[in-house]
């Protein structure tokens, strides 16, 4: 299996060639599409649909409107472009490569450590804004444009948005304020490809008629075909003459543009609603090959029509393996099953979703109990306050979306609801730092701290399918206050084995291994797996590590704690979270309260920096949170993996 890109020299050839301008643009864009497909396939994940739909727009902009290549990426007088939705960044990277902004090896390091982030990050030259959570872009563009005026710098500001993104309230805040503040040097372009995640925007939470809406907010709005280069050119030329309002182009595009089968929805539907498959994730081998072939054909044809000798299209090969379903446990699966099961006996709970139903494994519930399912679109604040209203009427709302978006975006709404002393369940999906490919907009390592200071909330993170079902049941049927259910979204690296006699009880964890040299508290399948790997390593040097699963992140049974730490001199906490405001802080307080800290070591392995982007192992190793690193940090033995180390007797006062 090998991955090869169409070389930069081929792009230069197209750029410098004469002939029909629009055709050359199309050729250039299709070549970028080809490279995008290769990069995403190699990464194993990434957003193809948006990358392809926005490709013509960004190609047009960088080759025709923006001065960045002339004045330099860091010139204060440069034109600025960035994508607010950020999904389309693989496409932008491939364009950056074609323009010489990115070296070849970087493009083949998409979503890898020290490679390219899964969502835009400003540390990458050419990226003007870090994005990945929706709705912030126009506000940021406004700040940039305002600063340009204040600093007396030249340059225009262009921001690309999604269409689903127009469900975020901040978009409307920014539209209103930009017009009022007369920051007219902003041009927003909507990549209106009609699908958000895997369904039609029109089905999820319709934004139409968006031209009327945006116009009502005082913007100059035009709606065009976002794949027609001549229309793009004409439009941008016209907009240059509009200087008394900010400007918005609604560009009708096709998600997956350029690859026939990615342009089409699935024939299968969900409850009468259209489904789309290519929002995120890498294509299977067959689709990949087919996609490359289609693009090659188009490239060859266009080159021929333009009279370009030949575009060198490299060979790309797959392993030809048939995709097999991953035989791993997902705690989210167990959660989805539990909801369906529990709904039979408890009629009071209803489920809310913020456009992530499939990822959050809610589709089965949605299908089984359509009258108890509320799809709210990408409008977390509205979803959370709606849940507040539902709860005030005696229902138990279960709010679902990614932890980053739920805990942070809707934080004040959560506080407001909690103050009403109703019960709401906030299910924080994609909690923790793994998977690390999407980057830090998606990795949630602050959510415990964001809920922590609410006086009436219980925060739980289960470690396996069984515990997830117990936790879901507890939240719905037992808890009397608000609950946060923190769930890892990816596959569990192993199925964590709980003791046979373990009972899921408030504040009480479960001992997973024996050991008296140190105790390590952890939670969730990802980090407990690393803890168990560490314990295995340590066993080799006769170091006994007691690993404890502690699913109760802010409720600790002091008697249980006293008992479990009583013979331990060295206490460690392994967070899937920042070291600030997670389980560690609560454990430290509890240990002090029960007087079990004196003469003991206490170390919190939580993050003290931003989570890195990369594969799980790359990122865990980077943060020294993989099992091997943990074993070294706990024992102080640096060459723990070598035979020498195994022989070496552990000394309790080894440097750490």
Residues 195-224 that bind its own copies (CB under 8 A): 205-207, 209, 212-213, 216-217
> Which 3 state secondary structure label does DSSP give 189?
strand
Identified binder of its own copies from the candidate list 445, 465, 476, 520, rule CB under 8 A: 445
Q: Which stretch binds its own copies (CB under 8 A): 105-113, 237-245, 371-379, 628-636?
A: 371-379
Question: Tokens 């793009």 label which residue?
Answer: 232
Ranges within 99-128 binding its own copies (CB under 8 A): 121-123, 128
Residue selected from 75, 225, 449, 511 as contacting its own copies according to rule CB under 8 A: 449
Touching its own copies, residues 541-560 (CB under 8 A): 554
Nearest to 610 by CA among 636, 577, 587, 582: 577
340 binds its own copies (CB under 8 A): no
**Span 395-414, contacts to its own copies by CB under 8 A:** 395, 397, 404-405, 407-409, 411-413
Residue closer to its own copies by CB (options 22, 222) is: 222
Does residue 141 belong to the site contacting its own copies (CB under 8 A)? yes
Is 247 an interacting residue with respect to its own copies (CB under 8 A)?
no
The answer to whether 193 and 222 have CB atoms below 8 angstroms apart is no
Which range touches its own copies (CB under 8 A), out of 8-16, 50-58, 91-99, 393-401? Answer: 393-401
By the rule CB under 8 A, 394 interacts with its own copies: yes
Between 562 and 628, CB nearer to its own copies: 562
Yes or no: say if 250 and 212 are a contact pair by the CB < 8 Å rule: no
Taking the C-alpha atoms of residue 363 and residue 346, their distance in angstroms, rounded to an integer, is 19
Question: Which range touches its own copies (CB under 8 A), out of 1-9, 99-107, 161-169, 248-256?
Answer: 161-169
DSSP output for 65-104: I--HHHH-TT-TT--EEEESS-TTHHHHHHHHHHTTSS-H
By CB under 8 A, is residue 656 in contact with its own copies? Answer: no
Computed on alpha carbons and rounded to an integer, the radius of gyration of the chain in Å comes to 26
By the rule CB under 8 A, 392 interacts with its own copies:
yes
**Least gap, CB of 341 to its own copies (angstroms):** 20
How many residues touch its own copies under the rule CB under 8 A: the total is: 112
Q: Which is nearer to its own copies, 23 or 213 (CB)?
A: 213
Where does 420-541 have alpha helices with state H? 447-452, 465-473, 525-540
Residue 89 makes contact with its own copies by CB under 8 A? no
* One of 198, 585, 618, 626 touching its own copies (CB under 8 A): 585
Q: Judged by CB, which is closer to its own copies: 286, or 601?
A: 601
**Burial tier of 317 (Cβ tally within 10 Å: 0-12, 13-18, 19+):** exposed
- The 609-628 contact track toward its own copies, x by CB under 8 A, reads xx------------------
Shortest distance, CB of residue 216 to its own copies, whole angstroms?
4
Task: Tell me which stretch binds its own copies (CB under 8 A): 59-67, 146-154, 355-363, 631-639.
Answer: 146-154
Give dist(CA 439, CA 93) in Å, integer: 15
Cα distance between residue 595 and residue 142, in whole Å: 54
Q: Does residue 53 contact residue 163 with C-beta atoms inside 8 Å? A: no
- C-beta of 107 vs 204, nearer to its own copies: 204
Computed from CA positions of residues 217, 232, 73, 129, in that sequence, does the dihedral angle turn out positive or negative? positive
Q: Smallest gap, in angstroms, from Cβ of residue 649 to its own copies? A: 26
**Is the CB of residue 49 less than 8 Å from the CB of residue 262?**
yes
Of 585, 595, 551, the residue nearest 463 (C-alpha): 551
> Contact between 420 and its own copies (CB under 8 A)?
yes
Least separation in angstroms between CB 178 and its own copies: 8
Are the C-beta atoms of residues 407 and 430 closer than 8 Å to each other? no
Among 9, 16, 18, 150, binds its own copies (CB under 8 A): 150
Restricted to residues 450-479, the positions that interact with its own copies (CB under 8 A) are 450, 452-455
Question: In angstroms, rounded to a whole number, what is the distance separating the alpha carbons of residues 629 and 625?
Answer: 6
- What's the CA gap between 379 and 405, in Å, rounded? 10
Which residues have a Cβ under 8 Å from the Cβ of 569 and sit 6 or more positions away? 518, 599, 600, 601, 652
For tokens 């918005």, name the residue: 248
Contact assessment for residue 53 and residue 256, using Cβ atoms and an 8 Å cutoff:
yes
Residues 477 to 536: which contact its own copies by CB under 8 A? Answer: none
Helices (H), 426-514: 447-452, 465-473
Distance (Å, whole) CA 37 – CA 291: 8
Among 112, 140, 429, 486, binds its own copies (CB under 8 A): 140
SS3 240: coil
Q: For residue 85, which of 359, 612, 438, 384 has the smallest C-alpha distance?
A: 438
Tell whether residue 588 is a contact of its own copies (CB under 8 A).
yes
* Candidate ranges 18-26, 173-181, 262-270, 323-331; the one touching its own copies (CB under 8 A): 173-181
How near is the Cβ of 643 to its own copies at its closest, in Å? 35
**The only residue of 114, 317, 569, 592 in contact with its own copies, by rule CB under 8 A:** 592
* Nearer to its own copies among residue 280 and residue 422 (C-beta): 422
């Amino acid at each position: 299996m090998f991955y090869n890109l169409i070389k930069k020299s081929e792009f230069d050839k197209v750029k410098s060639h004469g002939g029909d301008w629009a055709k050359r643009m199309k050729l250039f864009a299709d070549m970028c599409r080809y490279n995008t497909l290769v990069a995403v396939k190699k990464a194993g994940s990434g957003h193809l649909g948006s990358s392809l739909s926005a490709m013509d727009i960004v190609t047009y902009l960088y080759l025709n409107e923006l001065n960045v290549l002339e004045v330099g990426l860091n010139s204060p007088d440069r034109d600025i472009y960035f994508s607010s939705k950020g999904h389309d960044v693989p496409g932008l990277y491939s364009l950056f490569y074609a323009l010489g902004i990115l070296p070849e090896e970087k493009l083949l390091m998409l979503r890898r450590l020290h490679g390219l982030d899964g969502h835009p990050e400003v540390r990458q030259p050419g990226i003007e804004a870090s994005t990945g959570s929706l709705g912030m872009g126009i506000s940021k563009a406004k700040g940039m444009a305002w600063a340009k005026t204040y600093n007396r710098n030249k340059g225009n500001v262009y921001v690309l948005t999604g269409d689903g993104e127009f469900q975020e309230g901040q978009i409307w805040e920014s539209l209103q304020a930009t017009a009022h503040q007369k920051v007219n040097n902003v041009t927003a372009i909507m990549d209106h490809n009609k699908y958000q995640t895997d369904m039609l925007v029109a089905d999820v939470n319709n934004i139409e008629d968006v031209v009327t809406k945006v116009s009502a907010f005082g913007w100059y709005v035009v709606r065009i075909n976002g794949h027609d280069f001549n229309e793009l050119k004409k439009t941008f030329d016209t907009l240059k003459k509009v200087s008394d309002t900010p400007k918005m182009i609604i560009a009708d595009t096709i998600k997956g543009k350029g690859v026939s089968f990615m342009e089409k929805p699935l024939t299968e539907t969900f409850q009468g609603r259209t489904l789309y498959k290519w929002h995120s994730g890498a294509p299977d081998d067959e689709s990949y090959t087919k996609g490359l072939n289609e693009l090659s054909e188009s490239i060859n044809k266009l080159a021929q029509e333009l009279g370009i000798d030949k575009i060198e299209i490299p060979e790309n090969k797959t392993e030809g393996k048939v995709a097999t379903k991953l035989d791993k446990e997902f705690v989210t699966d167990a959660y989805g099953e539990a909801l369906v099961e529990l709904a039979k006996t408890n009629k009071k709970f209803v489920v809310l979703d913020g456009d992530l139903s499939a990822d959050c494994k809610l589709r089965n519930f949605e299908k089984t109990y359509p009258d108890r399912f509320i799809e709210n679109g990408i409008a977390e604040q509205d979803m959370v306050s709606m849940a507040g209203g539902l709860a005030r009427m005696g229902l138990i709302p279960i709010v679902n979306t990614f932890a980053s978006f739920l805990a942070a975006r809707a934080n004040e709404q959560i506080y407001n609801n909690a103050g009403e002393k109703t019960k709401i369940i906030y299910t924080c999906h994609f909690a923790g730092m793994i998977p690390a490919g999407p980057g830090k907009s998606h990795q949630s390592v602050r959510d415990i701290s964001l809920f922590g200071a609410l006086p009436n909330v219980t925060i739980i993170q289960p470690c396996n399918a069984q515990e997830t079902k117990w936790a879901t049941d507890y939240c719905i049927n037992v808890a009397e206050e608000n609950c946060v259910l923190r769930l890892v979204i990816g596959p569990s690296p192993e199925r964590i084995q709980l003791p046979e006699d373990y009972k899921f009880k408030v504040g009480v964890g479960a001992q997973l291994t024996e050991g008296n040299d140190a105790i390590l508290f952890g939670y969730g399948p990802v980090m407990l797996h690393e803890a168990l790997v560490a314990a295995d390593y340590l066993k080799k040097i006769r170091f006994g590590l007691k690993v404890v699963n502690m699913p109760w992140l802010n409720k600790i049974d002091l008697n249980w704690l006293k008992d479990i730490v009583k013979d331990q001199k060295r206490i460690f906490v392994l967070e899937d979270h920042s070291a600030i405001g997670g389980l560690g802080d609560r454990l430290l307080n509890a240990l002090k309260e029960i007087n079990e800290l004196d003469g003991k070591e206490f170390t919190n392995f939580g993050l003290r920096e931003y989570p890195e982007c990369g594969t799980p192992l790359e990122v865990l190793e980077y943060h020294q949170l993989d099992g091997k690193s943990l074993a070294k940090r706990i024992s102080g033995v640096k060459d723990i993996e070598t035979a020498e180390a195994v022989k070496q007797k552990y000394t309790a006062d080894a440097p750490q």
